[in-house]
Structure 1
Amino acid sequence: MVIHMLQLLEDTRKLSMFTAYNTNVDAIVYLKGEMIQKLIDEFGAEAVRRRMEEYPREIREPLDFVARLVHALKTGKPMAVPLVNEELQSWFDSHFNYDVERMGGQAGIIANLLANLGFRKVIIYTPHLAKRQAEMFVRKPNLFYPVVEDGKLVLRHPWEAYREGDPVKVNRIFEFRAGTTFKLGDERIVVPFSGRFIVSARFESIRIYTEEKLKPFLPEIGLMSDGAILSGYQGIKLRYSDGKDANHYLREAKKDILLLKREKDVKVHLEFASIQNRTLRKKVIYNLFPLVDSVGMDEAEIAYVLSALGYEKLAERIFTYNRIEDTVLGGKILIDEMNLELLQVHTIYYIMYIAHADNPLSEDELRESLELATTLAAARASLGEIRSQEDFRVGLSVPYNKRGEYVKLRFEEAKRRLRTKEYKLVIIPTRLVQNPVSTVGLGDTISAGAFTSYLAMLKRKEHPRG
């Protein structure tokens, strides 16, 4: 199996990939008790307590942040709260020294991963490329950013293509540890669990689109690429102050996909992320899913999608019981209603492919693709980052999770109980790292590894050796 995996990785690295749209800077702070105390003292315990009771859903002023942070620390639950006031960025920068700054956003994480693995060509596009963002990209000669010069498409390295004055999206991540103590007035608080509090930037200036001058060159980019991985649509707002709305940006997104596919049928994968607003979620699903070939998501996201499509009871069952049988049923509905070629669902304990029975790859080949994906993610979890194709071998020594046999058993039961003749269904347990160096980007790594190895095997079918 090891030789098989290494050979598949070699074939996969021969691909050229296009990825867009969302990148950001993840600025990480490791919280200490005295830092939290200083924030409470700045605003006063009583004011913080009052604001905690109000439970602000967005961060519009510093007190909103402190109140939601203390609430997260008190419960020990990981949380993400949107920052909607762009002017507050300077307040955060003056109050915190960031311990780590790294690439964030699905498109950025995937571009760096594929470039480090040594793919033939990786073209990354993000509509905003400030210098601070450009410096987050790895300095590899196979990584390019598309620019238009003298009416022609030119590929530059991202660190040569940045634009002064472009906005930068910074997500601030406050990592907290169990046992951290501080006082809220007379109340002594001990953080019960380790976790993270994310202040996610949701500014009007950050949008998901392709610049008008680049749009006509998308067919050319499609010709250069074996596949495209698109993400970031969760960043679209329903309405903007300039009169534009989600419909405008989704119409443009549809045009982009059709332009990429105009000169050749380049396979497009959409990496889905949770969209809290049901109306927006529905718009993204109905507008974009029917145009792409492949979609990747986790089990919570499949429940969100099914809920938006009107399958409330099934969505509720997935949320409540998390049974493989319900996820398989939901996946069947999704590939039929949206006419997808491939659906990939990743969870902590298993990864699954659902395809129609006429998919050109066999179930064994689909299984091999998922094996590569979980091995890649295990290497990333073990090392924190994949810096070369040699790092892949680290993932091969990570064992499958302890629930592996149970997962296989439940999957076989589900296949017996559900009508599956018209489908190819494949599931594998994940390789699980006990003490990961980092968990950021593991879902993106699985999706990128699965989709690119799927493409590599399709190419093998089209051009068999010899």
Structure 2
Amino acid sequence: MMEFLKDFQKMGIYLAYNVNVDAIVYLNEKHIESLIKEFGAENIKKRIDEYPREINEPLDFVARLIHTLKTGKPQAVPLVSYEADRWFNSRFKYDFERIGGQVGVIANLLANLDFNKVIAYSPLLGRKQAEMFVNRDNLLYPVVENGRLVLKKPLEAYREDDPVKINRIFEFRAGTKFKLGDETIEVPYSGRFIVACRFEDFARIETSPELKPYLPEIGEMVDGAILSGYQGLRKYYSDGKDANYYLRKAKEDIKLLKKKKDIKIHVEFASIQDRELRKKVIYNIFPLVDSVGMDEAEIAHILSVLGYRELSDRIFTYNRIEDAVLGAKILLDELNLEILQVHTIYYLMYITHDDNPLTEKELMKSLEVGTTLAATRAFLGDIKRPEDVKAGLSIPFNEKGEYVKLRFEEAKAKMRTREYKIVIIPTRLVRNPVSTVGLGDTISAGAFASYLSLLRRKG
């Protein structure tokens, strides 16, 4: 771990596109009971059966929240109504606010790990967001001044008129009990429910026209890039543009970043509710990048789009390691990826082709960096300096670790894997996490950064 931290001090990363403010509520029985009383158990059950895929009114939120509490699985559902947005502000007192979005979480993490240079870009940068980036010399925002690329601290680069995106995050704890009518529900796992703001202003995934010509120069400055936020795209926009327009722009960005130096690019994939949009992102973006990170549910969503509906259903229904491995093999090959990283509650997995320059042992070391950083964040709430990782190293691997390894070996024995390197490690699991927000992003950033570090050592 210490060797990787030393390597990070010599490395640079570019991040784009999504930054927001996370307004966090720690849910307890009183919150839940109050919502059930306000909207009525029968109304909530009926709306759960309808399974709203976006939040147009408060009842949509309550139904999806209760469903999430029953399963204990983290969820993010888009908020599309300004009226519902105002209801949240009047209904909840937030426990605290902090930077959010994959770019925001990862930028602060890597800067605090003493990366040499972290260049974080978001099309919108309001003052509140700029203030939430850590104020460090190695965390920079790109601007163009007098025809030149200039890197400034976010607090020196924000635009007063830019709107600020706020996502509401409801953290819940395993063991929380409540009644929904005659039904008693106990939350099986700790997690979070995200009400993801999806207003049009925040749904334009692009680099500003003045900065775009300088992307090759940015690519030369860094070892790799992490791109995220495609889940915010819309099919259509009020000015006549559509998702295809912004995906063309996003593809141009990737090509420009690689123009002068063939840097590695990782995409952190997040759930896209709309099947057609999901398909567009997968087919347009994935074949141009080197690495993708996702959880097992997202593997299932993508397999469904690619036509593997039966395998997708098996992953959703049974959540077996052998199905996840088979699904990962399909994604790696069909989408022409260099490496796929999968993060779940109990294990992390890499799958790559046999000609990857890293050994299986090195790939496992990279995954261990990811789970150690996530355990540190879950235990402390945040990572503020490299020394904090010692806390993560003291967190044991989860109790299902041996079972995971056994099932993985059984899976490998049943299927053809000679052309691949597939490694799996159990996660370090914090029993009562201070927070679960951003743990997937932390795993992916740590794994990708350490993957780059190992490639650098190979020369």
- Fold shared by both chains (TM-score > 0.5): yes
In 1, Cα distance between equivalents of 2:210 and 2:295: 35
- The one of 453, 458, 462 equivalent to 2:450 is 453
- The one of 308, 313, 318 equivalent to 2:315 is 318
**Residue 201 (structure 2) pairs with residue 205 (structure 1):** yes
Secondary structure at 2:201 match in 1: coil
Letter in 2 for 1:117: L
Name the CA shift for 1:336/1:76 in 2 (closer, same or farther; >3 Å): closer
2:153 aligned partner: 157
**Residue 250 (structure 2) pairs with residue 253 (structure 1):** yes
Name the CA shift for 1:56/1:441 in 2 (closer, same or farther; >3 Å): closer
**Residue 146 (structure 2) pairs with residue 133 (structure 1):** no
Deviations 1:400-429 (A, max 9, x none): 111111211222222222111111111111
Name the CA shift for 1:335/1:188 in 2 (closer, same or farther; >3 Å): closer
* TM-score, L = length of structure 2: 0.90
Q: 1:391: Cα distance to partner?
A: 0.8
Deviations 1:9-37 (A, max 9, x none): 31133210001111111112345677678
**Residue 93 (structure 2) pairs with residue 124 (structure 1):** no
- The one of 6, 19, 23 equivalent to 1:27 is 23
Q: 1:214: Cα distance to partner?
A: 0.7
In 2, Cα distance between equivalents of 1:342 and 1:45: 46
Deviations 1:49-96 (A, max 9, x none): 998897755433456556766787799886544321235544433443
2:370 aligned partner: 373
- The one of 361, 365, 379 equivalent to 1:364 is 361
Letter in 1 for 2:432: N
Q: How does 1:430-441 map to 2 (within 5 A)?
A: 430-441=427-438
Q: How does 1:52-131 map to 2 (within 5 A)?
A: 57-61=53-57, 65=61, 80-86=76-82, 88-131=84-127
In 2, Cα distance between equivalents of 1:214 and 1:255: 13
In 2, Cα distance between equivalents of 1:412 and 1:34: 45
In 2, Cα distance between equivalents of 1:74 and 1:310: 29
CA contact (8 A) 1:345 1:353 kept: yes
In 1, Cα distance between equivalents of 2:7 and 2:30: 52
In 1, Cα distance between equivalents of 2:307 and 2:93: 46
2:287 aligned partner: 290
Deviations 1:274-303 (A, max 9, x none): 111111111111101110011111111111
My pick for the range that moved more, 25-34 or 361-370, is: 25-34
Letter in 2 for 1:163: R
Percent sequence identity over aligned pairs: 68
**Residue 142 (structure 2) pairs with residue 146 (structure 1):** yes
In 2, Cα distance between equivalents of 1:24 and 1:344: 25
* TM-score, L = length of structure 1: 0.89
Q: 1:162: Cα distance to partner?
A: 1.0
**Residue 417 (structure 2) pairs with residue 420 (structure 1):** yes
1:12 aligned partner: 8
In 2, Cα distance between equivalents of 1:195 and 1:451: 24
Name the CA shift for 1:195/1:334 in 2 (closer, same or farther; >3 Å): closer
Question: What is the total number of aligned residue pairs between the two structures?
Answer: 455
In 1, Cα distance between equivalents of 2:381 and 2:48: 35
In 2, Cα distance between equivalents of 1:11 and 1:460: 9
1:327 aligned partner: 324
CA contact (8 A) 2:178 2:186 kept: no
**Residue 162 (structure 2) pairs with residue 166 (structure 1):** yes
- Superposed CA RMSD in Å reads 2.8
In 2, Cα distance between equivalents of 1:352 and 1:51: 36
Q: 1:130: Cα distance to partner?
A: 0.8
My pick for the range that moved more, 45-54 or 314-323, is: 45-54
2:212 aligned partner: 215
Q: 1:45: Cα distance to partner?
A: 9.7
**Residue 236 (structure 2) pairs with residue 239 (structure 1):** yes
CA contact (8 A) 2:17 2:121 kept: yes
Secondary structure at 2:200 match in 1: coil
CA contact (8 A) 2:296 2:342 kept: yes
Q: 1:396: Cα distance to partner?
A: 1.2
Instruction: For structure 1, list consecutive stretches of 5 or more residues without a partner in the other structure.
Output: none
Secondary structure at 2:132 match in 1: coil
CA contact (8 A) 1:325 1:411 kept: yes
My pick for the range that moved more, 107-116 or 11-20, is: 11-20
Q: 1:205: Cα distance to partner?
A: 1.1
1:355 aligned partner: 352
